Amino acid sequence: MLIDTLEEQRGKINLQRIFWALVAFELLALAIFFIGDQFYFKNIIFYVYWGGALLVPLFLLVTPIEPVVGLQLMFITTGLDFLARITKSTGSVNFNFTYFHLALLLTFISTFFNLLLKRRTVIRSTNLWMPLIMFYLVLAMSLIYTPNFPDGAMTFVRIVVMGLIALIVIESVDTIKKLKFVLWGMILIPAGISILTIYQLMTQGSFYASKVTKLATSLGIAVYRSTGTFDNPNKLACFLMIGIIVPFGLIFEKKLSRTVKLILASAILLSSVGILTTFSRAGWVSTLFGLALIVAINKKWSFYVIFVSMVVLMALVMSIKMPQLREAVFDRFTSIFDPSSDSSSSSRLSLIKSGIWMWQDHPVLGVGIRGFPTMYYDYVDPHMPQILLEVNEPHTLFFEILAEEGLVGLIIAVWLFMTIFAYGVKTSLKMNNYYLRLAQGTCTALYAAYHVNFALATDLTNNTFWMTVGLMYAIPFLDKKATTVEDVPVVEAGSG
């Protein structure tokens, strides 16, 4: 115990030295910048040079001290989506190099150095690693026979990186303050993006993705679906879902001030209206499911009624300016209960049929990772709406896995996903710290909501999904740490 304490103190001393060295460097850089701006340089190169001199050391030296800064940067760049893209997909490989990848690389390196500074050489043991590694092995094996190796290999790498994101979160979120820092980002950033989506809807903005306007026109939708910073309204809705479920789960905290409760309530309303403007039924259903799970855990069904009432009221207020909004929302919502009501809904059923037919021909190991889009037209459902024949993505996670990795892949995937969910439920019921219990219940509800969303708009490489998984495994360590500290007896001076 004494050795561990000394090692922690040494780590803290090293971190403090790095921090003050950073402060000194930044002050010097600012001084040079100010003097040069005032007296010597008036060239754009000067600003670029010193802008880099300020930002690069800031992230290279601050993030090893606090890798959660990198996590927040990853979350922000995920929310910016196409605005944060540096390059676009080319050829058969579906990959966009973005600022998120830069943030991820920076955070991964900084987490590694942070662990070295703290003398931590062993990662935390959880029940996540075994099923996750087995899932990786199945995906890697499917690369041998996939008909689309370039895209399959890229997708495999991305899913492996998603696991690394979960690992980074587990290792770096090691205090309650850091947890709150991450959760507040998950509250405020979606609310900010929601403001853009609301403006986009109200103004019928010209910055919609072209394929969205084309599809809306062809389907006869009266109101264009907001895409915000994303190129797909379903992906936007999945992101805004976070900004509803997280503050909703934390608002049950009894010690919150009125100001904090007002901020949480405002964030919930903003993100709710934002997700409404996406007209994403997958987003609506998954969000309502996550909220229902939270109120069931906390036994506060009145909160659910209040939430739904406020969203309906806000929709009615918005429909004053856009009368067609009321009808569009009503039609989209009622179509949830009738899968054959429109082309979009019936197309999902056709894609599921195609996935099942594909699996029947390859029952054990499937057609290989990313084989579904390639082989889809050999298994296309004749009842698939003609207008949506170009849609060749499965749109349902479990049927995608069944078709591409077969029965073996599906069994291991269910093992992985159920392991995570069961762990979240079990730990949220046993925690001693009330705030951490709320946070774990919230993350577990968000995790379940993701799976509902993936049943209608699959996206296993979703960054924030794996960040949520990481939080679900980091929070129990925080509770154990807090409980251990509280149980340590106080030794009075002179005793012993």
Mean pLDDT across 74-102: 75
For 495, other C-beta atoms within 10 Å of its C-beta total 6
* Of 24-33, 180-189, 238-247, 307-316, the least confident: 24-33
User: Given its phi and psi angles, is residue 406 left (phi above 0), alpha (psi -120 to 50 degrees) or beta?
Assistant: left
Q: CA-CA-CA-CA torsion for 142, 143, 148, 151, nearest 10 degrees? A: 110
Mean pLDDT across 238-265: 92
**Contact between 46 and 54 (Cβ < 8 Å):** no
- Burial class from Cβ neighbours inside 10 Å (0-12, 13-18, 19+) for residue 165 reads buried
Q: Is 425 helix (H, G, I), strand (E, B) or coil?
A: helix
Nearest to 356 by CA among 307, 396, 299: 396
Question: Under 8 Å CB-to-CB from 457, ≥6 apart: which residues?
Answer: 234, 235, 238, 280, 282, 395
Domain segments of the chain: what residues?
Answer: 1-122, 128-172+343-483, 178-337
261-291: string of b/e by CB count within 10 Å (b at 16+)? eebbbebbbbbbbbbbbbbbbbbbbbbbbbb
**Contact between 115 and 171 (Cβ < 8 Å):** yes
- Please state the φ and ψ torsions of residue 90, each to the nearest 5 degrees: -135, 145
Mean pLDDT across 60-83: 79
Instruction: Report the distance separating Cα 255 and Cα 89, nearest Å.
Output: 48
pLDDT tens profile 296-349: 888 877 777 878 777 777 777 776 766 666 666 666 666 665 666 666 677 888
Nearest to 273 by CA among 235, 327, 311: 311
Q: What is the pLDDT of residue 342?
A: 65
pLDDT tens profile 184-228: 999 999 999 998 888 777 776 544 455 555 545 544 454 567 778
Mean pLDDT across 29-40: 58
**Contact between 369 and 404 (Cβ < 8 Å):** yes
Q: Is 93 helix (H, G, I), strand (E, B) or coil?
A: strand
pLDDT confidence bin for 25, thresholds 50/70/90? low
Going by the DSSP 8-state scheme, the letter that residue 88 receives in this structure is -
Instruction: Report the distance separating Cα 250 and Cα 256, nearest Å.
Output: 9
Instruction: Report the distance separating Cα 237 and Cα 409, nearest Å.
Output: 28
pLDDT tens profile 157-175: 999 999 999 999 998 898 9
Q: What is the pLDDT of residue 8?
A: 45
Q: Both tokens of residue 280?
A: 């994403």
Q: What is the pLDDT of residue 53?
A: 60
Q: What is the pLDDT of residue 223?
A: 53
Instruction: Name residue 245's amino acid.
Output: I
Q: Both tokens of residue 171?
A: 């290792």
